[in-house]
Every structure is written in structure tokens, then in C-alpha cells.
Structure 1
Amino acid sequence: MRVTFDSRTDPFNRRAFFRDRRDQVQSVLRWTLILVPTAALIGTLCAAFLGSLDAATRARFDHPWLLYLLPLGGAAIALLYHRLGRSVEAGNNLIVEQIHEPGGGGVPLRMAPLVFLGTIATHLFGGSAGREGTAVQLGGSIASAVAGLFRLDAAGVRILLMAGVAAGFGAVFGTPLAGAVFALEVLAVGRIETTHLLPCLLAALVGDWTCHAWGIHHTPYHIVTPAAGGGALLVAPLLLAKAALAGVLFGLAGLAFAEANHVLGGFLKARLPYGPARAALGGVLVIALVWIVGTRGYLGLGVWSAIPGDPTIAGFFTGPVDPWSWALKMLFTVVTLSAGFKGGEVTPLFFIGAALGNALGGLLGAPIDLFAGLGFVAVFAGAANTPLACTIMGIELFGATHAVPITVACFVAYLCSGHNGIYLSQYIAVPKRASRLSAGAATLREARAARRTRSAGSISA
């Protein structure tokens, strides 16, 4: 006897079920064909960028006189943006805004070459900046161009932009899991769009694999101190309490870094509206800081140095205790970025966090390498409001042995950094705490403006 199914009488509705599965397979194949070559291109560009950045850094060490061209180099970068890049000056914030509300011209493709050249010039002449901003902007601009090529709708543009951010972040740091989560978590405080995790993870993995395929290797960092209690989940209460206390200070450091950037950047723009003049002044200030502190150790990325005795990120994991390098690196970086030099904030935040962790480890009688690792990721967690991505990054970089103190430090830092951050376009989805100063604000920019308005009102009263 032949059995037939009628969708009107079959409660399971098999036809609809198999039709949905077919549509899902087609969607997966379509997105795979779009995402894989896009992420591979972004990974290739990140590899070229990292290779160029390393060459520029070596040239700066080989030719110390290049530092004195920093004002001229900064003015040239700013002039290039003034003439060709006014639409992309918002950088990472522009990408976050386009993910929230795709439209207009999208993320202009010119962002990629401009930020590439601008960042290399910054590091060649000695500016203190990072590299994540360049990778994220490379990923976002390429993804936006591909979305236009395939004429994707608004929902498709959002997915591809997030995937582009994930690919750039994962490739430049060699942390694809953190890259995928960062692309989802950076959009809104307190909320992660897990719906798009798989495309972001695919893009981050392909970007990272492609970058490695070009022969790029990332600096390894090691925490040799064994886990307290002999296991990953058995952590001595005292050590955990110290990690939480350090997390408070890591969060405050992230807050101080973000707010100092916004305040000094706004002050310089108000006093010197012309970008090239502002960058030239910033170059002069950086040179003056070098003469005042008597070292060039706070220029560039700070990942490594050709000069023995210079503070470096790797050095903070081994000692000796360095009490003030975190503050000096913050000062150099804030001046550089506020003046309009290009790069990013994350690698300097790694330096600041590792240096602060080193200092706190000595002060609290805790393992220096462990607390340098905690600061490495936790200050970034507080400044970027991405505690989960930073926790995963810590596990990817240092292993799961210290997953518990890493988690505690990152989430405590996130809670203590307030409604502020380096990405003011972030939405406030779930407030960290009830506050009159941030009530009703949709973004961190609006929350910050509300605080400033209330503070001005209190002073005038």
C-alpha cells in the first residue's frame, strides 16, 4: 500500500521540514563561497601589513634619526586623510556604526590603503600606536566592498562586516576564537549576537590560517607558574582575591586610557582644527617625551626591542618588577593617537596591562608572569568592553591552566571601567549598573556626553 503525506493532515509537515533543510544547505554554501575568499584576502592583507610593520620597526631601530621626522610624517598622514579620507576618519567606530545601521556609502574601500600606509608611517617614525585598528579597518573595508559586489541586503551586509572584523582581528593576533567573539561582542555593551557566530568563526579561522600560510608568526607569551591547587579549576582563594583586586585596577586603567584619549583628542581638535598641524604638534610632543624620560622604549608597539634593557611586553612576564612603565606607555600612546596618528589602541593596551600586572604582581606578592598575563587581556577587556573575547584570548594565548583567574580579572575589569571605552559607537544593550549619568543613553558616546553635560551643570551651579 502506498502511503502519501498531506501537509494539511500531517502534524510533522515533512515537506516543510525538508524544504527548510534544503534552504539552509543552500544558504550555507552561498555564504561559504562568499566568506572563504573574502577572509583569505583579508588574511593576505594582514600578512602584508604585519610584514611591513616589522620592516618599518626594524628600520626605525637601524636609523634612530627617523624619530625626528615624526612631525613631518604625522603631518603627511593627516594631510592624506584631510584630502582623501575624511569619510573614514572615524575608523573602527565607522565600522561599528555601519554594522548597527548599514546604509549610505557603507565603509569606503579607500579606508584600507589609507590606514595601511598611515599605520606603517606612524611606526616607521616612532609613534606609539597599535595594529588592531588597521586590521579591523582592512577587514571592514574589504567586507563592505564584497557586500556591494554581491549586492547583499542590509542583513547580509551586517553579517559580512562582522565577519570582516573577525577575520582581521583573528589574523593580526593569531587568536581566531577571540576574533570571532570580539566581532560580536564589540557591537554592544552587555550583549552578544550569537546568531552570527559561525560565519564570524569561519572568517576568523580562514583569516588566521591564510596569515600563517604567508609565513607570519606571532610572538609567543608564556605563563610558567603552575595553577594553584594543581588543576585548572582548583584556584587558591587568596590568589583569586588578588586577581579580583588587580581586575579593579585593570578596569580603572582601561577607563583612564579611553577617557584620556577622548579628552586630549577633543582638546587638540578644538585648539588646532587643521589635522596636519595637530599631527605635527603631536610628533613634537612625542620627541619631547623621549628626551624627558631618557628612553625610546615606549615608542612603537613595544612587543620587542633591539635595544637591551628596553621595556617590552615579553619582558614583563619574566621580571624584574617595573612599577611605572604602564603609565609612561599610556602617556606616549595617548599623545600619539590624540594627535591623529594611525594604528590602534589594543597592542599598547596589552603593553600597559602587562606592565601594570607586573607591578601589581610585585606589590601583591603574586606570580609576576601570571599577573602580567592577566593585565595583558584585562585592561583591554575594560577599555573595549569585551570581557568574553578577552577571556578567550587569554586562554588561546596562555592556555587553559589559568582560565579561572583570567575570567575573574577580565570581567571585574569590565565592570569597573564604567560606561566608557575606546569605541564610543558601542550600543548600551545591558547597562553595567544603574546610573543617572547614563540613563536613556543608546551609545557610549551619548552616555559620555550626558556625563559631561551634568558635570558642567554641577560646576556652574
Structure 2
Amino acid sequence: MKMDNLQSRFNASSLEQKDLLVYLLKWTYFGITTGIIAGMGVVIFLKLLAWAIAVWTQEPGYYFFIPIALLLNSLLVCWLAPGVSGGSDKVIEAIHRRAGGYLPLSEVPVKMIATVITIASGGSAGKEGPGAQIGATLGSAWGRFLKANDEDCRKIVICGLCAGFAVVFGTPVAGAIFGVEVLFIGKILYDTLYPAFVAGLVGYYVACISGIPYLHRHISIEPNVYLIIQSILLGIVCGLIALFFIKTVCWCQQYFSGLRLSKPLKAFVGGITLTLIGYFVSPLYLGLGLELLESGVSGDSVAPGAFFWKTVATAITLGCGGTGGIITPIIVVGTSAGNLFGQLLGSMDISVYAVIGLAALLSGAVNTPVAAVIMVAELFGSDIIPYAAVSCLISYLVSGHRSVYPSQIILTGKCPSLLVDEGETIGCVGSSTRSEKKGFDRYNKYHIN
């Protein structure tokens, strides 16, 4: 009898190990192939964007053509792919709501061209949103080609999202964490983490082989108790600036939605406003804003109003109908805010505060504190981790249940007083009417096991 029990346990253990081995091989294959496909697609987009920026911005006064460029961009989107807007939030919504996280492949070329027109002409937007959407859409097409079931297709879409993020920023680990953390507040999809990491790593190496440049700089920091206290204060500041950023973007979207004009004319009006910012304030706040980012993390002082003007320019660009992502502007705003914080403290090394601000604002505005900490660690070295972690978690709490991604679902409130929001999407929180179909219902229906 005892031998029978031992044999039964051995057979069960062997079967379990066999299932795990099959699972590992299956998702290693899916992760590698998705990383290659998504990586190649995003690399094409990044090279096209870099070429367009290099050519267009050489012209003096290039920002005077923003209104016409945004008008043409709006016409292109309206005619060919009205559903192309949304960036990463559209991917999040598809993963939550659509069977298999379906994203139409036909939107990829339109997304590429529309984003290139917007950013190269001077629209303040990012490349990570389109990159993530392109990666996720190619992942969706690959999953359907493999005839995978809905559950597996959704995981493959997440892998494509992770690969896209990793390729854009050169952060394979943060890319994987971002994709499994950004979908929900209060839950990380550990069951999708392995293939997401494989896809992110493979996509990153595809980008490296293709010659995509990245901003990697090591920052050395001696253990400092005062810096911990300063990181706490900076976390509070960045949490408040994250609220300002989110509110400004939402207000601009509502303002342009309320204008009784066609979408192309709304884009033209928004373009005129951006031209005025470029002419009367500074063209540094237009486009990707990487000059501000590089100056901030290099230790050079940026203008005190940089975080404000970059926020306004981004809100106008996305509100009037421009196509692009929102995370690049967020990290530029965070870098500028941290840089200013260091200036006010009279620090000799304001680059440290700029990097902490970058991570903290990303955490507060997107609700991804773990990914934000890992991202700056990959880009700037491990010395920054404890200070960025403190600042990120505080910013994450200060921003409350708000996000630049309204499709995020709240599974666990950030504090007891916010438990009433559990089961809602961010977009439903604070609205006059609650969604009839709770976020928990969508989660239970499309839960990734």
C-alpha cells in the first residue's frame, strides 16, 4: 500500500514536471518569435522617425508648419484608420475587452506614418506608445497566424507590448515588467512574466543589432541619508506634478472635443498653439524633447518652467488629435521637475535628482512603480535604486486612482479610503455614472490564467 502511494506521488510529480517543461518550451518559442517580429516592426518605425526628425528639424522655423502637418495627419487617420489613436491605452483596452486582445494589423502602417508626421513636424508626443501598439498589434497577428486560443493570444499580445517598450527605451527587464504591471492597479501578471521577459530581451537585441542608439549612463551615488529624505520630498512633488499632467491632458482632450469643428480643423487650431509655444517660448518643448532629457540627466540646469511647458505642449498635441505616445513626455517632464528640485536645493549633482524625478513621475502618472525603478536602474545603474524606489512609491500613492491610461483596471485600492474604486477602470473613477459592467466582470471574463 505504501509502495502504491509512493508510485502514485512519483507519477503525479513526473506528470507535473512534464507539463512544466512543455509550458516552458512553448512560451520560450512564443516569446522569442514575438520578440523578433515585434522588434523588427518597431525598429523600422524608429529608423523612419529618426530620419524624418533629422531631415525636418534642420529647417529653421520648422514649427511654423505644425498646423498643416497636424491637419494632414488628421485627414490621414480619419480616412484610413479612425481607430488608430490611443497608443498603449488602446492596447490595454483590447487586452481587457476584446477576445484574444485583437488588434487589426491594417492599422500598423497608418500608426507609423501618423506618428512620424506628428513628432517630426514638432508635435509633443512620444514614440513608446506607437512602439508598444505596433509590437502588440504584430503580436496579435502572430497569435492569430498560429491559431492560438484566446488566452494564449492575449499573452502573445502582452509579449508584443513588452517587446515594443523594451525596443523603444533599451530596457528589456523594465519592458517586461511594464507590460505585466500596467494592465491593473494592484496586480502583476506573474504567469505572463517569463514570455514577456523573453520577448523584451529578444526585441532589445534585435534593436541593438539594427543599430538603434540608447541613452545609457552610469550615475555613482554614495550612501546618503539626506538623499533619502530629499527623495521622499521629491516623490511628493512628482506625485502632485503627475496629477497636474493627467488633469491637463484630460482637460485639453475635453476642450478640443467640445469645439464645434471637424477633427482636421481641431488639429489645425492645436497646431497653431504649438507654433506659438515654439516661437515665443522655446522649440525645446516640441517634438520628443530629448534635448531636455539629455541635458537634465547630464547635470545641466534646465529652465524652471520646462516641466510646465512640456506638459502643456503634450496635452495640446494629444488633445487636438496628434498621434503619438505619452510616456516619453512624462519622463521628460519628470526629468525637468527633478532637475529643478536639485537646482533649488543647490546641489552640485542635479543629475541624481533628475533621474529620480524621471522615475517618480512615471510611477505616479502611469501607476507602474516597479517598472519605473527597474527602468532607471537599467539606464543609469543600480546605485539609484533605493532612492528611486522611495520616490516612486510615494508618487504612486500621491497620484491616487488617476492615470494617463483610463483603461487600467483597479483590482486593489492604494489605501483603505479608496477601496470603493475596486473593480472600476480608471476612466470610471470620479465620473458621475459608474460603468454598468464592472471592471471585475471584464477581468473575470478575460482573466489570464
For residue 372 of structure 2, what is the aligned residue in structure 1? 390
Structure 2 equivalent of residue 364 of structure 1: 345
Cα 1:162–1:135 shift into 2, 3 Å: same
CA drift at 1:65: 4.5
1:185-218 CA-partner distances (Å, limit 9, x unpaired): 1011122111211011000000000010111121
Gaps of 5+ in 2: 436-449
User: SS in structure 1 opposite 2:188?
Assistant: coil
- Could you tell me which residue of structure 1 aligns to residue 15 of structure 2? 19
What is the CA–CA distance in structure 2 between the aligned matches of 1:128 and 1:302, rounded to whole Å? 7
| CA shift for structure 1 position 292 | 2.5
The equivalent of 2:425 in structure 1 is: 443
Distance 1:193 1:106 in 2: 19
Larger Rg: 1
Q: 1:451 to 1:391 in 2, by over 3 A?
A: farther
Q: Please give the secondary structure, in 1, of the residue aligned with 2:6.
A: coil
Structure 2: how far apart are the matches of 1:84 and 1:248? 43
Contact 2:95 2:101 in 1 (8 A): no
**Alignment partner of 2:320 out of 320, 330, 339:** 339
Name the structure 2 match of 1:348.
329
Matched, 1:275 2:257: no
Task: Output the CA distance in 2 between the equivalents of 1:218 and 1:365.
Answer: 29
Deviations 1:41-62 (A, max 9, x none): 2111222222222212211321
Tell me what 1:297 maps to.
284
Which residue does 2:395 correspond to in 1?
413
In the alignment, the residues of structure 1 paired with residue 68 and residue 6 of structure 2 have an alpha-carbon distance, to the nearest angstrom, of 75
Q: Does residue 24 of structure 2 align to residue 42 of structure 1?
A: no
Counting matched residue pairs gives 434
Write the deviation string for residues 247-266 of structure 1: whole angstroms up to 9, x where unpaired. 11111111211121112112
Q: Which residue of structure 1 lines up, in the alignment, with residue 447 of structure 2?
A: none
| Residue of structure 1 equivalent to 2:309 | 328
Q: Which range moves more in the overlay, 83-92 or 381-390?
A: 83-92
Change (3 A) 1:239 1:41: same
> Does structure 2 conserve the Cα–Cα contact (< 8 Å) formed by 1:102 and 1:154?
no
- Among 137, 142, 155, the alignment partner of 1:141 is 137
Q: Deviations over 1:331-385 (max 9, x none)?
A: 1111111111111111111111111111111212443111001011111111100
Asked whether the equivalents of residues 362 and 372 of structure 2 are also in contact (C-alpha less than 8 Å), the reply is: yes
**Change in CA separation of 1:76 and 1:104 when aligned onto 2, cut-off 3 Å:** farther
Q: Distance in 2 between matches of 1:436 and 1:209?
A: 41
Q: Show CA shifts across 1:272-298 (max 9, x none).
A: 4632121111111101222221x2111
- CA pair 18-185 structure 1, distance change in 2 beyond 3 A: same
Map of 2:203 onto structure 1:
207
- Equivalent residues in 2 for 1:243-282 (5 A)? 243-272=231-260, 274-282=262-270
- Counterpart amino acid of 2:413? P
Q: Given residue 413 of structure 1, which amino acid in structure 2 is its aligned partner? A: S
Contact 1:78 1:341 in 2 (8 A): yes
Match of residue 104 from structure 2: 108
Alignment of 1:35-114 (within 5 A): 35-103=31-99, 106-114=102-110
Residue aligning to 1:240 = 228
Alpha carbons of 1:343 and 1:246: their partners in 2 closer, same or farther (altered >3 Å)? same
Which stretch shifts more, 78-87 or 180-189?
A: 78-87
Report the Cα distance in structure 1 between the residues aligned to 2:126 and 2:25, rounded to whole angstroms.
36
1:156 is matched with 152
Deviation at 1:394, TM superposition (A): 1.3
Q: Out of 182, 187, 208, which is 1:186 matched to?
A: 182
> Could you tell me whether the CA contact under 8 Å between 1:131 and 1:344 is conserved in 2?
yes
Check conservation: 1:379, 1:413, Cα contact below 8 A. Answer: yes
Pairing 1:107-126 to 2, within 5 Å after superposition: 107-126=103-122
Normalised by the length of structure 2, the TM-score is 0.91
How far has the Cα of 1:175 moved from its partner?
A: 0.4
| DSSP 3-state at the match of 1:70 | helix
In the superposition, the TM-score normalised over structure 1's length comes to 0.88
1:452–1:129 CA distance, 2 compared to 1 (3 A): farther
Match in the other structure for 2:408: 426
How far apart are the structure 2 equivalents of 1:187 and 1:440?
14
SS in 1 for 2:431: helix
Structure 2 counterpart of 1:130, from 97, 106, 126: 126
Q: Is the 8 A contact 1:438 1:448 kept in 2?
A: no
Q: What do the CA deviations read for 1:30-51 (whole angstroms, capped 9, x no partner)? A: 3333321221121112222222
- In the superposition, relative to structure 1, how do residues 43 and 81 fare at CA in structure 2: closer, same or farther (>3 Å)? same
Q: Is 174-183 or 398-407 further displaced after alignment?
A: 398-407
More helix by share: 2
Question: Please, which moves more after superposition, 416-425 or 443-452?
Answer: 443-452
Residues 286-336 of structure 1 deviation map (CA, whole Å, 9 limit, x = unaligned)? 01222221x2111111213xxxxxx45334532235321111111111111
Residue type of the alignment partner of 2:284: G
The SS at the match of 1:422 is coil
Q: Which moved more, 1:66-75 or 1:348-357?
A: 66-75
